[in-house]
């Protein structure tokens, strides 16, 4: 479950988000849309605790974000899978090691790591690229590596920032299928996108952001 109450965030006096209140239920799959610069990525940064809000309260996976101390932030982050808009892949590590990192950080033994990395690589159809380095991959492939890394930890909340921004229609459908799949298993999924095709005719809730303000919500 994700909840924001009167949340504001400004960068150098410029408001990136102003007075946002929204709520995504446990197990729901919802979208945030709006033009670029609307504040979608900023909203996500607040949710995965990379930034602190100037005002308002944020509740995520049952925790009040402002009340978390530095030892529980890592534990909360393990419950949140993030597809970063800029991927944040480590270019000096192979695709395999990038994805495995999520599990190694959690102290998994290598045998389990291997098994699970291969299974998510299969899900994003990148098994043959396991030993490649990120910079040798196309934008769409890098994006799928990022998605694989975010789902491998079986998070309770999934935040995907423009997850299909670099994908062709074929791959886009595959990826959306994966999101729906993990949502069916109980994961709350929030997807930020400016691509209307992702949510049209889905009957999912969509939040409209523009200039840092919540302009509306639609079923």
Partner 1 sequence: MFSLRLALKSIFNEKWMSLLSMFSIGVMLFILIAVAIVVYNVEKLTARLPERLTVMAILKEGATAEEVKAAQAAIKAEPAVKSVTFVSKEKALEELKKSFKKDDFILKGFGENPLFDSFDVKIKSEGADGVRQLIQRIKSIRAVDDVEYGESLMDSLYALKSGLRALGISIGIVFLCSVTFICYATVKILFYRHREEIEVYKLLGATRWFVRAPFFLEGTIIGILGGVVGSGILMAFYQYFLRRLIADMPMFAFMSIPVQFLYMLPVCGMLLGLGGSVLALGRLKY
Ligand X SMILES: Nc1ncnc2c1ncn2[C@@H]1O[C@H](COP(=O)(O)OP(=O)(O)O)[C@@H](O)[C@H]1O
Q: Smallest distance, Å, CB 130 to Mg ion? A: 29
- Subset of residues 23 to 62 that bind ligand X, contact rule: CB under 6 A: 34, 36-42
Q: Which stretch binds partner 1 (CB under 8 A): 68-76, 132-140, 172-180, 181-189?
A: 68-76
Angstrom CA distances, 96 to 39, 117, 118, 138, stand at: 32, 7, 8, 16
Name residues whose C-beta falls within 8 Å of residue 21's C-beta, 6 or more positions apart in sequence. 4, 5, 6, 7, 56, 214
Binding partner of 77, given ligand X, Mg ion, partner 1, none, CB within 5-8 angstroms per partner class? partner 1
List the alpha helices (DSSP H) in the chain: 40-47, 72-77, 95-105, 110-123, 139-151, 169-184
Q: Which residue has the tokens 């969509």?
A: 206
Binding partner of 153, given ligand X, partner 1, Mg ion, none, CB within 5-8 angstroms per partner class? partner 1
Q: Which two tokens stand for residue 23?
A: 């709520």
Q: Which of 63, 78, 114, 127 binds partner 1 (CB under 8 A)?
A: 78
CA-closest candidate to residue 139, choices 96, 89, 177:
89
Q: Which stretch binds partner 1 (CB under 8 A): 23-31, 53-61, 75-83, 128-136?
A: 75-83
Q: Which residues bind ligand X (CB under 6 A)?
A: 11, 16, 34, 36-42
Q: Which residues bind partner 1 (CB under 8 A)?
A: 48, 50, 70-71, 74-78, 82, 84, 88, 90, 92, 101-102, 104-106, 149, 153
């Amino acid at each position: 479950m994700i909840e924001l109450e009167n949340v504001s965030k400004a960068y150098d006096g410029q408001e990136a988000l102003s007075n946002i209140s929204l709520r995504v239920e446990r197990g729901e799959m919802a979208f945030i849309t709006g033009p670029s610069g609307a504040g979608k990525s900023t909203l996500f940064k607040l949710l995965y605790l990379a930034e602190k809000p100037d005002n308002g309260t944020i509740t995520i996976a049952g925790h009040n974000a402002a009340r978390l101390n530095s030892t529980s932030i890592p534990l909360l982050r393990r419950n949140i899978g993030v597809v970063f808009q800029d991927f944040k892949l480590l270019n000096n590590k192979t695709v395999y090691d990038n994805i495995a990192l999520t599990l190694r950080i959690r102290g998994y033994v290598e045998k389990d790591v291997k098994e699970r990395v291969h299974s998510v690589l299969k899900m994003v159809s990148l098994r043959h690229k396991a030993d490649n380095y990120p910079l040798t991959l196309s934008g769409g492939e890098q994006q799928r590596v990022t998605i694989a890394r975010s789902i491998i930890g079986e998070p309770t909340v999934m935040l995907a920032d423009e997850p299909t921004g670099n994908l062709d229609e074929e791959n886009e459908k595959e990826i959306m299928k994966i999101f729906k799949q993990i949502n069916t298993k109980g994961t709350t999924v929030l997807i930020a996108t400016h691509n209307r095709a992702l949510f049209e005719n889905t009957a999912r809730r969509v939040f409209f952001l523009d200039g840092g303000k919540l302009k509306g919500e639609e079923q």
